[in-house]
Homo-oligomer: A and B are copies of this chain.
Amino acid sequence: MRYYIGIDLGGTNIAAGIVDSNGKIMIKDSKPTLKERPTEEIIEDMVKLVENLIKRCGIAKYDISGIGIGCPGAVDNRKGIITYCVNVPMKNVKIAEYITSRTGIPVNLENDANAAALGEYNVKGRGANSYIFITLGTGIGGGAIIAGKIYRGFNGVGIEAGHMTLVHNGDRCTCGKRGCWECYGSVTALINQTIEKMNANPSSLMNIKAKKIGKVDGRVAFEAAKEDDKSAKEVVQQYLEYVTDGITSIINIFEPELLVIGGGISKEGDYLLEPIIEYVHKYEYNKYCPKTKIEIASLMNDAGIIGAAMSCVK
């Protein structure tokens, strides 16, 4: 059995784990990123995580065939350089070289959404010749595995499905463009849509639920809708229209064999999946050929660690 280490570098936490060649996590751990501190300290904490995991797992260092790192932003996979990072202030960082010099283990660097895509692919997608992973989270991320390989784009940015336009001349996105799918289909967007409706309908069950947990999160509207609250059902229906319209676009563009939906909202399971499948089958361009299978992700937060680790498998 071969072993790999996967590191998921996030804006809040650095998560890492030892993964076997079947994609099973043997042991995992995390440290806060504390992203405002010097890059050297963040990378040093990644090295410490690796060393501690190896020590705790009782595996010899030479049994670890590679360290994979998933990083939010654009990476130069061939050179092992973080070109720029969107949540952690890093630019042109030779992270692979540094970590290899400190651990003696080869490093493979990927975009974090691509790593997560590969993690899910490893569980659900094996054999699919074209596969798309979409995460509905704080933003909308995506990854594509084509002919068994991560599709990185020519510059390491990967697929940024959340930044295709869904509403021409719509809301301004953080990326600068207007009307991005992310502005309408992300959890952040759902929360804004929920708050707007709560303000317009103070007697809605959503207001009671939000008061109870002391905040408005992505579940408030879904939970109230399941209890038949009219305003909540309107919020969920409108949100699902945005999500499904974007997914239909992605399917028309890639005609993938499999599309997997991950991120926070994917916890809604069939309540999310069923209307998506119904809408896609009604409106997708392809009316006759074999159709894209659409599924909910299964690994949740571990997808990043597993995918980063599996990206080292030759």
Where the two chains meet, the residues of A that have a C-beta atom closer than 8 Å to any C-beta of B are 74, 83-84, 91, 128-130, 146-147, 151-161, 163-168, 170, 175-177, 179, 184, 241-242, 245-246, 248-250, 252-257, 282-286, 288-292
Contacts and interface: CB of A to CB of B under 8 A. Distances in A.
Contacts of A241: 168
B154 A130 contact: yes
A151 B153 CA distance: 14
B153 A256 contact: yes
Given A164-B164, A242-B168, A248-B165, A290 B255 contact: no
A253 B160 contact: yes
B130 A255 contact: no
Contacts of A179: 245
A106 to B, nearest CB: 23
A178 to B, nearest CB: 8
Nearest to A76: B289
B167 A167 contact: yes
B160 A252 contact: yes
A249 B155 CA distance: 16
B159 A253 contact: yes
A87 to B, nearest CB: 15
A117 to B, nearest CB: 14
Contact of A168 (B146, B166, B289, B290): B166
Nearest to A175: B285
Contact of A130 (B153, B176, B246, B282): B153
Contacts of A177: 248, 283-285
Contact of A154 (B170, B248, B252, B290): B290
User: Most chain-B CB neighbours within 10 Å: which of A164, A248, A292?
Assistant: A164
A289 B74 contact: yes
A290 B184 contact: no
Contacts of A252: 159-161, 163-164
Given A165-B246, A255-B160, A74 B288 contact: yes
A128 B155 CA distance: 12
Contacts of A292: 154
A255 B153 contact: yes
A163 B285 contact: yes
A92 B285 CA distance: 18
A254 B184 contact: no
A309 to B, nearest CB: 24
B161 A253 contact: yes
A118 B157 CA distance: 24
Contacts of A255: 152-155, 157-160
A128 B74 CA distance: 19
Sorted nearest first, the 7 A-B pairs with minimum C-beta distance are A153-B255, A164-B249, A154-B257, A155-B289, A177-B283, A163-B252, A163-B285
